[in-house]
Amino acid sequence: MIPYGRQDIIQDDIEAVIAVLRSDSLTQGPKVPDFERAMAGYTGAEYGLAVNSATSALHIACMALDLGPGDWLWTTPNTFVATANCAHYCNAQVDFVDIDPDTYNLSPSKLAAKLERAKSENRLPKIVIPVHFSGQSCNMKAIHALSQQYGFRIIEDASHAVGAKYLDKPVGCCQFSDITVFSFHPVKIITTAEGGLAMTNDQDLANKMALYRSHGVTRDPRLMDEEMEGVWDYKQIALGFNYRMTDLQAALGLSQLTRLDTYVARRNELAQRYDDLLRESLWITPKQDDRQTSARHLYVVRLPKALSCHRAKIFEFLRDHGVGVNVHYIPVHTQPYYRRKGLDYGDLSTSEDFYRRAISIPLYPKMTLAEQDFIVATLIEALTEIRDEKHHP
C-alpha cells in the first residue's frame, strides 16, 4: 500500500539522535533551545517554545491568552479535533465558522457575518484559531483586520504549514497573529516523532507558555514575587504540566529542518504534477492561491457532486488497489462529543459538503513518479468503474 503520508529519515537524522543518546542530557539539555532558536530564525518570530505535541502547544497557547470559563473559542470544523479540544481543556466553549468552498480554509466573510451576530448577542470569541488546511495559509490579513475590529486574539494552527509562506513571509512569523502552532508528527512536513512548537513575538506570552509547559515552575527571579532562599530555589507560581520536548526529539527536528525547504519544493512539484495529470478527469483538484507557497501537507481531490454518494465505494476501491487514501476531515462539530454539546449536522454546510466529497491521496517527498502515475491511473479507473456500474446495474 502506498501510504498517504510518510516521514523521511536519513543517516544524518539517526546519527543526530544517537549523539544525544551518548550525551549527558536526554532531556532539558541544549538541543531543545537550539531547535527553538533555529525555528525562530527560520520563521522570523522572536520566540519558539518546543513541546511534546501541537496539541500541548495549543493548550499552553490558550492558557497564555487567559482562555477560561465563560469564554468562547472559534475555529474551523475542517480540522483535527485537537484544534477545538484545547478550548475545553480551559473550560471554555467552542463554536465553529464554516469554510471557504475554494480553499477549504476558514472563511473570513463567514467569520465577519458571525462576529456581527455575536456582537449583538454579547458572545464574541476571545480566541479564533484559523487552521492552514493542507499547508495553504488562511487569509490572515482579513482575519487580523477583524480581530482589530472585534477584539479577539489569534492562534494560527499551522500544523500543516511548516515551511509555507504567506505574502512572502514564512508562516510562523506571527505577523498577523499572537501565536502560531506547528506539529512535528511523522505525517507532517518535518518530524520529531511526536512534537510541537508555539511561536510568538510577545515576550510575556513566551514566558507564560514556558511556565505552563513545565509545571508552572520557574527559576527566574524576575518572575517571582518572593525572595529566593538560595541558588537551589525554584518557585511554582502557576499550575502547569509536563509538556516538554526531549533532546532526542529536538536533535531529530534540527536535523530534519536542514531539509525543510527541499521537502516543501518537492511536495509542490508533485502536487503540480497531480494537477496536470488529473486535469482532464472528473476529479476536482484543489485550488491554490498563487500569492503564497503552500507546504502541501495534503493533496485533497473531490468527487463531482453527482458521484458523492459513491465516496465509500471509491475509497474502498482505491485502498483495495494499493492506494492508501484518507479523509481530511470529518467536520469536528459532527463528532459525538461535540454533538452532545448541542452542535449537529446541517450547522455548517460547506464543510459538510466538502467532507462528503473529499479524498486525500498520497503525497510525501520520497514518492516516486512511477508511484504517482500508478495512483493517478487508479483514481481514474475508480471513477470509470463506478460510472459503468451506474449505467449497467
Interface with ligand PLP (CB under 6 A): 53-55, 79-80, 82-83, 131, 157, 159-160, 183, 185, 196
The residue among 43 and 56 lying less far from ligand PLP, judged by its C-beta, is 56
Structural Rg of the chain based on CA atoms: 22
CB of 80 to ligand PLP, least distance (A): 4
> How long a stretch of residues is the chain?
393
CB of 391 to ligand PLP, least distance (A): 39
| Residue 340, C-alpha cell as written in the block | 452532545
Beta carbons within 8 Å of 91's beta carbon, 6+ residues apart: 68, 69
The residue among 159 and 200 lying less far from ligand PLP, judged by its C-beta, is 159
The residue among 7 and 83 lying less far from ligand PLP, judged by its C-beta, is 83
| Residue 55, C-alpha cell as written in the block | 496539541
| Burial grade of 358 (CB within 10 A; 0-12, 13-18, 19 or more) | buried
Beta carbons within 8 Å of 157's beta carbon, 6+ residues apart: 54, 58, 75, 79, 83, 129, 130, 131, 132, 181
CB of 375 to ligand PLP, least distance (A): 22
CB of 291 to ligand PLP, least distance (A): 22
| Residue 140, C-alpha cell as written in the block | 490572515
The residue among 48 and 196 lying less far from ligand PLP, judged by its C-beta, is 196
CB of 180 to ligand PLP, least distance (A): 12
The residue among 201 and 249 lying less far from ligand PLP, judged by its C-beta, is 249
The residue among 84 and 173 lying less far from ligand PLP, judged by its C-beta, is 84
CB of 297 to ligand PLP, least distance (A): 8
The residue among 136 and 378 lying less far from ligand PLP, judged by its C-beta, is 136
CB of 77 to ligand PLP, least distance (A): 12
CB of 81 to ligand PLP, least distance (A): 8
Question: What burial letters (b/e) apply to 311-335, b meaning 16+ CB within 10 Å?
Answer: beebbebbeebebbbbebbbbbbbb
| Pure H helices in 95-139 | 108-120
Tell me the helices (H) and strands (E) count for the chain, helix number first.
13, 14
For residue 253, give the nearest of 1, 6, 3, 20 by alpha carbon.
Answer: 20
The residue among 103 and 218 lying less far from ligand PLP, judged by its C-beta, is 103
Is residue 179 a contact partner of residue 155, using CB atoms and an 8 Å limit? yes
Is residue 296 a contact partner of residue 135, using CB atoms and an 8 Å limit? yes
| Residue 76, C-alpha cell as written in the block | 474551523
CA–CA separation, 67 and 178 (whole Å): 13
CB of 292 to ligand PLP, least distance (A): 17
Alpha-carbon distances, residue 51 vs 34, 168, 185, 244, 339 (angstroms): 13, 27, 12, 5, 30
The residue among 31 and 297 lying less far from ligand PLP, judged by its C-beta, is 297
The residue among 160 and 208 lying less far from ligand PLP, judged by its C-beta, is 160
Single-letter residue type at 375: I
CB of 133 to ligand PLP, least distance (A): 7
